[in-house]
Each structure stands twice: as C-alpha cells, then as structure tokens.
Amino acid sequence: MTDDGTPALTLEAVGVRYPDGTEALDGVTLHLAAGEFTAVVGPSGCGKSTLLRLAAGLLKPTAGTVARASDRLGFVFQDPTLLPWRSVRRNVELSGELTGVPARERRARAEDALRRVGLSHVADALPGTLSGGMRMRVSLARTLTGRPELMLFDEPFGSVDEITRARLGDDLQELFAADGFAGLLVTHSVAEAVYLSQRVVVMADRPGRVVGEVAVPLPYPRLPEVRFSPAFTALTSQVTALLQGGTADRIEVAA
C-alpha cells in the first residue's frame, strides 16, 4: 500500500471521443486515494465502463491524463472470464503465469487465494461445473494473486442472483478490510454502491460526466442490517436524487 499521499488513481479532465464523434466521456476528474473504496453509479451508457477501461489502461483517453501509482492492478470483469479448459486452480494461477511469477510461488499464492474465497475444495474442478457465484469467487481469487494495490470492479456481480450478490459483496468487504487496496467499483445498483463504498460518484450520460458525489461515513465492517438503518436510507436517497438530476427517464435504481 502506498501511504505517501500519492493517489492510487488520478483521472484529470479525461475525455473519450470515438471516431464517429460520439462523446463517451467529457471532462471527468476523479482522484482515488490509496486504500479508498469508491463506487461509481450512473444510468446505462453513461460511460462507467469506459471510465474503468481508462483506469485500467485498456483504453487511451482522447483528452486529459490518467495516472496510476502502482502497476499492481486487479480488474474484476462483469463475467468471471475463466478459461473453461483449465481447472479452478490453474485459472487462479494464470495471473502469475502471465506475469512470470515462478511456478512454486504462484502455486502457493493460488492456494492462499482459493482458501481466502473459500474454494479450496473445488480447486481441481472445471469452471463449467461450478455455480455462477463460485465462478465469480474464482475470478476474485485470480485477481488477488497479483497482490493488487488498485482493484477495479466492472459491475462484477451483475450476472448472479440477488442472494449470491449480497454474499459476494460481503466477501469483497472482507478482502478490502484485510488487504487495504484502493477500490473503484462500477455498478448500477445504488444500494450496492452505498453499502460497499466510502464515496459514491454519480454520473450522467450524453456526454458521460460526473454530476456529483456523496460521502458514505458509515463505519466498516458494515453488516447486512445497516441497509435498513435511517442513515443508509438517507444516503441512497441523496444518490438517487443526484441521478434524477441527470436524465430522469433512464435511471436504473436497483433495490
């Protein structure tokens, strides 16, 4: 963890314009402190995923600058993105394999990561035989083996059911508490954003831009009951109000 005050991630007046003239993002500035967990919410097509791809370096901005404090970057995709022909263990080892971590070391890291997400017992199974929630956990474990200082989440729990989603959220919170990475979570669920993060950044579309942010002062660890507290409700209302100030006809406010 870099605690020298350098932000883990800095986006400075970033813009993305596609060759056909579409403005995906316009003048987005976002600073993510080391060890800070921030969520980004916004309607579909507001450029949330584009923002994340910029942060990961998968996309170059057409305006502004993107800077990361560390190369130890973890990216959790919308889908588990596992290689179906590899066992769970070999999938978790892939990250180290691609970055040249010695075999013994990456095996140890994979064991450790699988233990942390509670999947040691299925290490030799093929991903196709696991449930959606388990596959997502394998994906998380693979990311953890890189010992990331910055974690980017692209609507990571969008493809699993409501109950699994809540559980994965709690798992994520635990990992965050233990590892202290900086996290940027893109989601379309206001409740999930408030529940997991210390700050919610609200975006609007056409062009994709930041319209405001809400600090979430609730202490960690957050227990599921916190969702029913007046403070939580007040925060989700604030976020929702900001979203409605954008384009009210295209908001998705998930429960």
Partner 1 sequence: MTRVLTRQTWRLAPPAIVAAIVLAVWYFGSYVLIDADRRFLLPAPHEVVKVGFGDPANLAELLAALRLSAEVALTGLICAALLGLALAVLMSQARWVERSLYPYAVALQTVPILALVPLFGFWFGFGFSSRVLTCVLIALFPIVANSLFGLRSVDPALHDLFTLHRAGRLTRLVKLQLPAALPAILTGLRISAGAAVIGAIVGDFFFQQGEPGLGQLIYVYPRRLQSEMLFAAVFLASAFGVAVFWLFGVLARRATAWHSSQQRRPYPGAPR
Q: Residues interacting with partner 1, by CB under 8 A?
A: 56-58, 73, 75, 77-79, 81, 83-85, 94-95, 97-99, 126, 128-129
CB atoms within 10 A of CB 144: 25
Return the axis-axis angle of helices 103-116 and 132-144, rounded to nearest 10°.
Answer: 130
Give the nearer residue to partner 1 in terms of CB position, either 102 or 128. Answer: 128
Which amino acid makes up residue 138? V
Shortest Cβ distance from residue 86 to partner 1 (Å)? 8
In degrees rounded to 5, what are phi and psi of residue 160?
Answer: -115, 165
Per-residue tokens: 52: 């994340």
Instruction: For residue 219, say if its preceding peptide bond is cis, omega within 30 degrees of 0.
Output: no
Shortest Cβ distance from residue 26 to partner 1 (Å)? 24
Q: How far is it between the farthest Cα atoms of the chain? A: 54
Per-residue tokens: 81: 């993105």
The label of the residue with tokens 């979570």 reads 185
In contact, 140 and 59? CB cutoff 8 Å: no
Which amino acid makes up residue 52? L
CB atoms within 10 A of CB 220: 12
C-alpha closest to that of 108 among 72, 152, 144: 144
Q: From the CA atom positions of the chain, what is the Rg in Å?
A: 18
- Residues paired with residue 75 on neighbouring β-strands, in sequence order: 152
